[in-house]
A and B are shown apart, each in its own frame.
Chain A
Amino acid sequence: MKPVRITSTHQSITFSRRMLLLGGAQIGIGGLLVGRLGWLAIAQNERYQLLSESNRVQLIPVPPRRGWIIDRYGKPIAINRASFRVDIIPQQLEKGRDVVPEVAKLLQLDEEEVARIRSELAQSQGFHPVQVGENVTYDQYASVTVRLPDLPGVQATRGYSRYYPDGPAVAHLVGYVGSANAKEYEAEDKNPLLLIPGFKIGKQGLEKTLEPYLRGTPGGQRVEVTARGKLVKELDPKPDRSGETVQLTIDEGLQQYAARRMGDQSGALVAIDVANGDMLASVSMPAFDPNSFSEGIGRTEWKMLSENDHIPLLNKVAQGLYPSGSTIKPAMALGFLKQGLDPNRKFHCSGGVQIGNRYFRDDAAHGTVDMRSAIAHSCNAYFWSMGLQTDPQKTTEMVNYLGYGEEFDLPIPSQRFGTMPSPEWLEKKYHREWQGYDTANTSIGQGYVLINPMQLAVMPARLASGKLIQPRLLMGGPRKPIPDLSVDPEHLKIIREGMTAVVNGAGTAVASKLPLDGIQMAGKTGTAQVHKLISRGHQANWNLRDHALFIAFAPADKPRYAIGCIIEHGGFGASAAAPIVRDTMTYLFDKQKAFAALAPLEEQWGGTLAERNARQLAEFKAASRATQA
């Protein structure tokens, strides 16, 4: 390259040229900046406005009030009570400052609770609050509130908690509510509502199945917050909508009465309005107190419930399965009639029947019986013998048609429906032919027969009304026309006469006549073998004793109500189940008389249901402390 001699003129030209270049570059960058500003403020304006709004406004969900559950007359079964609660927000705790003992002292929490709080705090993540106390008294709430500035991370709020006025009486029917667990939170796509302290969802029973109706829609408090989460001002809130009130077909008074009348026995009772299938009572005893479940149950109480051999945690109405015992007989008899058996045909019961190479022994030699008296006396030999002379497929179909083994569409989670065996079913299930002894077992509700307490009420309701009623639990549900049973009304009349004789004639349950003028109850006893038959009658070992069953309807001449009842290991149906049904039936016609019958019993048992439950818990707590010590 030839060296160029650069003069100041050159330099001046270079300077001017480069100044132009520099100026151009500056204008270019200026244009770029304005362009960028325009792009952000015009083209992207909508997007950034949204982002800015979502920065500014935060929605704090306001949980809706849970809908009530009321009975058929509007009486409350599950309601909400104003309550005060105290929580700890782990994120807001100060390091090196242990607030738990202070709060525990203020709320008078026992060691068990403190241990629970500690373990929950250890597992908790971030802002998810840990419950310290729920349903604390106003004084306790106030004592925490005034100390809040000194208790970082502690939060005291007012809200609503679920309350079941009848406590254990409705426990299994309505279930209970509780805070959502991780699985339920995931199942609802991480619904933030479930994380609000004190927000409860249905965990069991109707509370669970009716959740969509009861929950309502959450509202929101729209607030303007700073980047640091400080609340600046409240904007117009989005109102919440309370859950719907759900009316049940249950008669709260009857439900409670039946629960009390069952005493400390383990069993189930279902009452049905025969005209329309409305379930008036659905009782499973013993039961837990849903109120203590909804508040978060203590470990001791849980232990007590789960160790009890009467299984208070099991809803026996929905999930209990039992042999039907002789309660199957009216349905069997109807099956015989349909196949043309003469109801007046005489049969001589000598105390047993030979079937194949085995002799089936009856409880007693009933002498000469016809169909009516065979039902009244619960003569096994008659049913064995007649069962062998008829088609077992047709007979068992009739029993199934009347409800045993039938599935019902009810808003109850995890129902079990048992089995009504038939020759076809046996062939399919066990690949063997129906034998004479199968007929014999089925005729007295043993063998493969397994029914649940709901069916135990549906059966007498259908026999009483002559209609194919379906049990119903929700008042608001659609009312479909109920078809008549496809049986001869004359045949039904015969069955009803037989069942009336059970209670009012010379039958097995004459001790359980209704104490009412002009109203008779018809029924059928059942005693279901639990263990191998060694000797009927008294068994020393409670859980080897027979189940006692009773089905009934009343009034016998113009049926309105039907009741099915099972008392686990109660012994004879006539002595354990029938009196409970009698008193419960009495309640439906004359409450005063029913309570008059209950009073001496409760005195004998040592107080009302609530009193006995409280005492039982206290005893258990004392005992468990003693064993720990």
Chain B
Amino acid sequence: MITSAIIPRPLARLPWRLIFLVAAIAGFGLVVLYSAAGGSVQPWAMKQGIIFLFFLGVAIGMSWVSEATIKSVAFPLYAVTLIMLIGVEALGFVSKGAQRWLDIGPIRLQPSEFMKPAIVLTLARFYELVPPGEIRRPRAIWPAAVLLGVPAFLILVQPDLGTCIMVVLCGVTVMFLAGLPLWIFIGPAALAAIAAPIAYNMMHGYQRKRIDVFLDPESDPLGAGYHIAQSKIAIGSGGIWGKGFLHGSQSHLDYLPEGHTDFVFATMAEEWGLVGGVLLIVAFGLVIHWGMKVSANSRTRFGQLAAAGLSATIFFYVSINLMMVMGLAPVVGVPLPLVSFGGSAVMTVMLCLGLLMALERQQRSKTSLA
């Protein structure tokens, strides 16, 4: 928060530290995209920059929205998104092909993206309505499970495993913070841990191979493990200081697939090395930390749950992508927000940040009023 006589009050009251941080991440992302295109703003950096600026404006605009408004649109937003998901499914059924988006005029809407903030807001709203005494009762659990399960299933059959995992994790985070009994989370986790080896033994050869390749990508460097293997080569060969701007051979010679989208971190790390990678991770960490602080400082239950859930959305984006790129998780197709080329992730993350800024403004205005 900048307090100065020269700057008009509404502008000065914006969370400038966050905006600078986010702009820095996105700016760095543009530099990486510029290099990934072989030293050109076309076809990615320019487009991405425009998209980012647009959604930054949207996010800042959203910061004036009141918590009450957010609360009131939570369920309708969820309902609309769910209908769109069903619409996508129906459309895919008609056109006999997998589809993830709706073409509405010039815009291509991917409803599963909206579902990430929508599920967070809906569950936050739902648990706000649940009286404290009821929180351990089934009626506090099953409606949430349905609210989360239906869209998760719809996204899974699209099929979009990455987004499905994200939606489930975001929802589960809100449920966890809402205070549901721990066995709900520990039980399934323990069950999965026990079932995994059994399932592995019962799998078909080709299914087992996919898992083997994830565990050891070098065992099939030209086939299924190619992405991970090449990504690790790019990151590992970058060393501490990197190969230098525009000097990443893995990305420039096309050895690294998806070097401007899902694997953009590898492109970056190859040229900027460990230093660039750590800086980026720290920057994201600060953004998430800011969001978590918004949640901790929130005085309403909705504010607490929503802010934590929205921060968690950004966190899952970043961590799943980085684990995937560095060979710690299977390749599920989650982009690195603000850096990867593509409008959807930028939109989702900026929506989350806009909502967080709105919640944060409310805390401050209340404080100043008090």
Which residues of chain A have a CB within 8 Å of any CB of chain B? 4-8, 10-11, 14-16, 18-19, 22-23, 26-27, 29-30, 32-34, 36-38, 40-42, 44-45, 47-49, 51-53, 55-56, 224-228, 232
Q: Are A38 and B237 in contact (CB under 8 A)?
A: no
Inter-chain contacts of B250 with A (CB < 8 A): 52, 55-56
Give A228's nearest chain B residue, CB to CB. B254
Are A22 and B312 closer than 8 Å at their CB atoms? Answer: yes
Residues of A within 8 A of B322 (CB): 33
Q: Are A49 and B237 closer than 8 Å at their CB atoms?
A: yes
Contact indicator B236/A49 (Cβ below 8 Å): yes
CB-CB under 8 A for A33 and B281, given A40-B236, A48-B232, A51-B237:
yes
When distances are taken between beta carbons in the complex, the residues of chain A under 8 Å from B255 are 52, 55-56, 226-227
Question: How far does the alpha carbon of A56 sit from the alpha carbon of B249 in the complex, in Å?
Answer: 7
Cβ-defined partner of A10 (8 Å) among B132, B236, B237, B295: B132
CB distance from A17 to the nearest CB of B (A): 9
Question: In the complex, what residues of B have CB within 8 A of residue A45's CB?
Answer: 236-237, 239-240
Look across to chain A and name the residue whose beta carbon is closest to the beta carbon of B277: A37
Instruction: Enumerate chain B residues within 8 angstroms of A227, measured Cβ to Cβ.
Output: 253-255
Q: Provided the pairs A33-B323, A226-B254 are in contact, do residues A47 and B288 lie with their beta carbons within 8 angstroms?
A: no
Contact status B253-A232, CB under 8 Å:
yes
Across the interface, B315 reaches (CB within 8 A) one of A6, A26, A49, namely A26
Min C-beta distance of B263 to chain A, whole Å: 13
Q: Determine if B135 and A44 form an interchain contact, defined as CB atoms under 8 angstroms apart.
A: no
B299 to chain A, nearest CB (A): 10
> Once the chains bind, are B179 and A37 in contact (CB under 8 Å)?
no
Q: Is the CB of B281 within 8 A of A37?
A: yes
Residue of B nearest to A33 (CB): B322
Partner of B133, one of A5, A36, A40, A228: A5
Q: Which residue of B lies closest to A55 (CB)?
A: B255
Inter-chain contacts of A47 with B (CB < 8 A):
236
Q: Please measure, in the bound complex, the distance between the C-alpha atom of A32 and the C-alpha atom of B255, giving whole angstroms.
A: 26
Residues of B contacting A19 in the complex (Cβ-Cβ under 8 angstroms): 177, 292, 295-296, 308
Q: Report yes or no: B308 in contact with A55, Cβ–Cβ below 8 A.
A: no
Q: A11-B135, A52-B250, A232-B253 are in contact. List 7 more A-B contacts (CB 8 A).
A: A6-B133, A15-B178, A33-B322, A33-B323, A49-B239, A226-B253, A226-B254
Note all chain A residues with C-beta closer than 8 A to B233. Answer: 48, 51-52, 55
For B270, the closest partner residue in chain A by CB is A52
CB pair B177–A22 under 8 Å, yes or no, is yes
Once the chains bind, are B136 and A6 in contact (CB under 8 Å)? yes
With a cutoff of 8 Å between Cβ atoms, the chain B residues found around residue A6 in the complex are 132-133, 135-136, 179
Kindly identify, within residues 201 to 241 of chain B, every residue whose CB is under 8 Å from any CB belonging to chain A.
230, 232-240
Complex A-B: 30 CB contacts under 8 Å = A5-B133, A10-B179, A15-B304, A19-B295, A19-B296, A22-B308, A22-B312, A23-B292, A26-B288, A30-B285, A34-B277, A36-B328, A40-B232, A40-B326, A41-B238, A41-B240, A41-B269, A42-B239, A42-B240, A44-B236, A45-B239, A48-B233, A48-B236, A52-B236, A52-B249, A55-B255, A56-B253, A225-B253, A226-B253, A226-B254
Judged by a CB distance under 8 angstroms, whether B48 is at the interface is no
A48 shortest CB reach to chain B, Å = 3
Nearest first, the 10 A-B pairs at minimum CB distance are: A48-B236, A52-B237, A41-B274, A227-B254, A14-B179, A40-B236, A56-B249, A48-B237, A226-B253, A49-B237
Contacts of B136 in A (CB 8 A): 4, 6
Closest Cβ neighbor of B229 among chain A residues = A51
Query: Footprint of A on B, CB under 8 Å?
Result: 132-133, 135-136, 173, 176-179, 230, 232-240, 249-250, 253-255, 269, 273-274, 277-278, 281, 285, 288, 292, 295-296, 301, 304, 308, 312, 315, 319, 322-323, 326-328
Find chain B residues with CB under 8 A from A27 CB: 285
Question: Which residue of B has the minimal Cβ distance to A14?
Answer: B179
CA distance A32 to B322 in the complex (A): 10
Contact of B179 among A15, A22, A38 (CB under 8 A): A15
Name the residue on B nearest A18 (C-beta): B177
Bound together, the chains give a CA A232 to CA B177 distance in angstroms of 54
Question: Chain B binding site: helix, strand, loop or mixed by DSSP?
Answer: helix
- The residue in chain B whose Cβ has the minimal distance to the Cβ of A21 is B176
Residues on A with C-beta less than 8 A from B281 are 30, 33-34, 37
Residues of B within 8 A of A29 (CB): 319, 323
Q: Which residues of A contact B319 (CB under 8 A)?
A: 26, 29-30, 33
- Shortest C-beta distance, A484 to chain B (Å), equals 70
Q: How far is the CB of B101 from chain A (nearest CB, A)?
A: 29
Question: A49-B236, A228-B254 in contact; A34/B132 too (CB < 8 A)?
Answer: no
A37: B residues at CB distance < 8 A: 235, 269, 274, 277-278, 281, 326
Least Cβ–Cβ distance between B287 and chain A, in angstroms? 12
Chain A positions within 8 Å of B315 at CB level: 26
Taking a contact as CB atoms under 8 Å apart, the answer to whether B326 and A36 are in contact is yes
Nearest-neighbour CB distance to chain A for B141, whole angstroms, equals 14
For the complex, what is the distance from the CA of A225 to the CA of B176, rounded to whole Å?
Answer: 51
Q: B237 contacts which chain A residues (CB < 8 A)?
A: 45, 48-49, 51-53
Q: Tell me, rounded to whole Å, the shortest Cβ–Cβ distance linking A41 to chain B.
A: 4
A residues in contact with B296, CB < 8 Å: 16, 19
Give bound CA distance, A11 to B140, whole Å: 14
State the Cβ distance, B66 to closest chain A Cβ, in Å.
Answer: 22
Residues of B contacting A52 in the complex (Cβ-Cβ under 8 angstroms): 233-234, 236-237, 249-250, 255
The residue on B at minimum CB distance from A23 is: B292
- Which residue on chain B has the smallest CB distance to residue A26? B315
Contact A7 B240 (CB under 8 A): no
**Interfacial chain A residues near B301, Cβ < 8 Å:** 11
In the assembled complex, the Cα of A6 lies from the Cα of B135 at a distance in Å of 8
* Chain B residues within 8 Å of A15, by CB: 177-179, 304
What is the chain B residue whose CB lies nearest that of A30? B285
CA gap between A551 and B183 in the complex, in Å: 108
Select from chain A the residue with minimum beta-carbon distance to B295: A19
CA distance A33 to B319 in the complex (A): 8
CB-based contact A32/B328 at 8 Å:
yes
Within the complex, what minimum Cβ distance (angstroms) separates B90 from chain A?
37
Q: Which residues of the other chain, B, contact A32 by a CB distance below 8 angstroms?
A: 328
Q: Chain A nearest CB: distance from B197 CB in Å?
A: 23
Identity of the chain A residue whose Cβ is nearest the Cβ of B238 in the assembled complex: A41
Q: How far is the CA of A107 from the CA of B296 in the complex (A)?
A: 83
Give B304's nearest chain A residue, CB to CB.
Answer: A15
Indicate the member of B176, B179, B237 with the most A CB atoms within 10 Å: B237
CA distance A7 to B179 in the complex (A): 12
List the A side residues contacting B179 at CB < 8 Å: 6, 10-11, 14-15, 18
Closest to B253 in A: A226
Q: Which residues of chain B come closer than 8 Å to A30, judged between CB atoms?
A: 281, 285, 319
| Residues of chain A within 8 A of B278, CB atoms compared | 34, 37
The residue in A33, A34, A49, A53 that gathers the most chain B C-beta atoms within 10 A of its C-beta is: A33
A33–B322 Cα distance when bound, in Å, is: 7
Question: Which single residue of chain A is at the shortest CB-CB distance from B328?
Answer: A36
Give every chain B residue within 8 A of A55 (Cβ-Cβ).
Answer: 230, 233, 249-250, 253, 255
Within the assembled complex, what's the spacing in Å between the Cα atoms of A173 and B234?
56
